[in-house]
Structure 1
Amino acid sequence: MNRPAVDDELPDFRNLGVLLHALVYAHVLLVMHVLTSLPAWHGWAERLTEASLWLELTLLPSLALLSGLSPQLLRLPFRLGVPVVCALVLVCNALANQLLKPFEPAQHARLAGELICLLATLGFLGILRLRQRALSPRLSEARLSALQARIRPHFFFNSLNAVLSLIRSEPAKAEQALLDISDLFRVVMQDNRHLSRLAREVELAEHYVNIETLRLGDRLKVEWHTEKMPADAAVPPLMLQPLIENAVYYGIEPALEPGPIQVNIFRMRNDVHIDVKNPPPPPGYVRTHKGNGMALDNIRERLLLHFDAEASLTTQATSDYYQVHIVVPYREIPHDDTAAPFSRR
């Protein structure tokens, strides 16, 4: 089967992972250049210090400028964006050379040359481009894994049986349940490689809760704390619904007494926090499959693919509750649009 073509895109220079990659890449090149151009080993410390001064005066302003202009750069086509990024870096390099003129660093003549700066920038963008192309199939595989994990036969048949039981007695309720099932499965079956608005994910999770309420009745109670939720935040699709599904499966179904599932979503500075808390399973309860671990691993992988080092997923299990806590950087999706992976437009 042919894989879909991967659209080349500039990296998001606001992303912490991209910034860390740039710092490591530049300093590795610096050390390699200094060590390979030394006329004598006894002068390595002085040469490295002088070269580092030039590097920091070029690299740090470049990253700051690219980070500030990242939303505008991400709107540019890749072929136009590359020369724009190179031009911005060369401008910072020229300013660094002007600042270093009074010190007359003779050793900088080769290292601070515009050609080396240009080649280093092109090399870094090329590495990130290859990384994006390498990770794209993994993202498709992760989406497929999420799809397979979501369509559990017993959930589908239980939902249909619940609807059948309502058709004669409560036809309006049965019709609404069918609409919820239709909305849920339509989203599950579509291409979910792109980021989704957080409000859309909450709506999808609410459809799922409505369906499960038909089966579990008053045993299922979900407390939504979304007053401080940024509705336009970009998150991986099919992220919240699997968390609530696991909370139902492990915290509500086996429980002797009803207990609420708490969903708390809020923004703190430049991060979006998503908490899903459910009662623990009763003592002695044995899990029959590894669905919970598979779902969490899948979400972790997609967070890494979309947000690199800026996102995290942690769990906490106590005698009173089990909690999943997700942190993603706040990136805006203005309307009902979606953003391509790795770009966070």
Structure 2
Amino acid sequence: MEQNTPLMPDFRNFGVIFRALILVHLGMLLYVVAAIRDWSEWSGRLTDAAFWVEPILMGAMACLAVFAPQLRSWPFNRSVAMVYAIVLLWTVLVFRGFSSLLFIDLQPHLGQMLVLVLMGTTFMLWHYQLWLKTLSPRLAEARLVALQARIRPHFFFNSLNAVLSLIRSQPKLAEHLLQNLSELFRVAMGTQSSLSTLQREVELARGYLEIEKVRLGERLHVEWHIEKMPAKASIPPLILQPLLENAVYHGIEPSIETGTIHINIFQSRNEVHIDIRNPIIDTAVQRIGNGMAQDNVRERLLLYFDAEANLSIQRGNDYYQIHIVLPYRELKNEQTVAPIFS
């Protein structure tokens, strides 16, 4: 990922909010430590500082969350100016409100507080840009791992052999499978600095499983439960395919029996849930994996959705299930991809 221009934080994102709270409270703690002359003043100074900081911080973060969509759609310099304006205006309102409630003239302290607020806001925005730059090489590494692990060589050559065997007997099916295979590789080798739609990812996953179905025959059975799927929900590209490839590789391919892969995708409130379940075969023939695909998916969920998305694993006596939760954000135009972190 190349970050040519700075990006404005999404102040509705839990990860952004959490880091902002940590940074501000850490700054408040350091300020109190630097200001005290006697450690006996510690608790009183900290309480006084929190009395002023908390209403300013919570109110400012709430205002920034309300204006977050506009801030992220504007040019960066304009958004930064608006962030400063919102924070400073809220600080002035808090001071005036306290002055009225406490019947105390707080005007002499307002200038000092505004300076501290400006410094805190600047540090918060700088920290976010630093965080993005830190993640940039991690995204590049994740893309490399994805290219290495997403489509295994054995799958590619076996798929070509399966298609070749159908050219004479079922030319239409062979053509359809070649289109699926070419589309899979086109997406895999393309850019991943954008978001796709859930419907598009399901179509790609279906194409992949159709190829595997020809290769594995009756050993592979797939059950889709996508009646409640939000089709236009945004999702990082090729999230489903590598996990389904793992399900086939570990749960279906080594066995001579029929195995079923269950895919359940649904929306619950403002979250999208994705469940992929495959059978567990006899440990004597079970393949040992290195978790590369799962780590890659976790990495990209973090990069796109921060702390609002996660991947968890549940293992039963006869099944292995991956559960993904990500925030519901709709792409208005199904044919349009959204830039990263938008």
Displacement of 1:125 = 0.3
In structure 2, stretches of 5+ residues that fail to align are none
Q: SS of the residue aligned with 1:334?
A: coil
- String of CA shifts for 1:109-156, please: whole Å, max 9, x gaps: 278621221121011101101111221121121012111112311111
Distance 1:10 1:253 in 2: 46
Displacement of 1:90 = 1.1
The aligned counterpart of 2:76 is 78
Identity of aligned residues (%): 50
Displacement of 1:6 = 3.3
Q: SS of the residue aligned with 1:265?
A: strand
Distance 1:268 1:82 in 2: 34
Q: Does 1:342 align with 2:341?
A: yes
Instruction: Note if contact 1:195-1:236 (Cα within 8 Å) is conserved in structure 2.
Output: yes
The aligned counterpart of 2:289 is 290
The aligned counterpart of 2:141 is 141
Q: Does 1:239 align with 2:239?
A: yes
The aligned counterpart of 2:13 is 15
Displacement of 1:162 = 0.6
Amino acid at match of 1:177: L
Distance 2:96 2:148 in 1: 58
Distance 1:153 1:12 in 2: 39
Q: Does 1:309 align with 2:307?
A: yes
Instruction: Note if contact 1:254-1:282 (Cα within 8 Å) is conserved in structure 2.
Output: no
- String of CA shifts for 1:27-53, please: whole Å, max 9, x gaps: 111111122122443333222212212
Q: SS of the residue aligned with 2:338?
A: coil
User: Could you state the TM-score of these two structures normalised by the residue count of structure 1?
Assistant: 0.93
The aligned counterpart of 2:36 is 38
Displacement of 1:5 = 4.6
Instruction: Note if contact 1:6-1:136 (Cα within 8 Å) is conserved in structure 2.
Output: no
Instruction: Note if contact 2:264-2:275 (Cα within 8 Å) is conserved in structure 1.
Output: yes
Q: Indicate how the Cα distance of structure 1 residues 224 and 111 shifts in structure 2: closer, same or farther if over 3 A, else same.
A: farther
Distance 2:57 2:108 in 1: 15
Instruction: Give the length in aligned residue pairs.
Output: 339
Corresponding residue to 1:332 among 327, 330, 333:
330
Does 142-151 or 15-24 show the bigger shift? 142-151
Displacement of 1:91 = 1.5
Distance 1:179 1:144 in 2: 24
- String of CA shifts for 1:185-218, please: whole Å, max 9, x gaps: 1101101122221111111101101111111122
Amino acid at match of 1:18: V
Give the alignment's Cα RMSD to 1 decimal.
Answer: 1.9
Q: SS of the residue aligned with 1:113?
A: helix
Distance 2:339 2:5 in 1: 9
Q: SS of the residue aligned with 1:290?
A: coil
Displacement of 1:108 = 8.5
Distance 1:21 1:5 in 2: 21
- String of CA shifts for 1:46-98, please: whole Å, max 9, x gaps: 22212212111111111111112211211011111111111111121111111
The aligned counterpart of 2:298 is 300
Displacement of 1:342 = 2.5
In structure 1, stretches of 5+ residues that fail to align are none
Q: SS of the residue aligned with 1:85?
A: helix
The aligned counterpart of 2:203 is 203
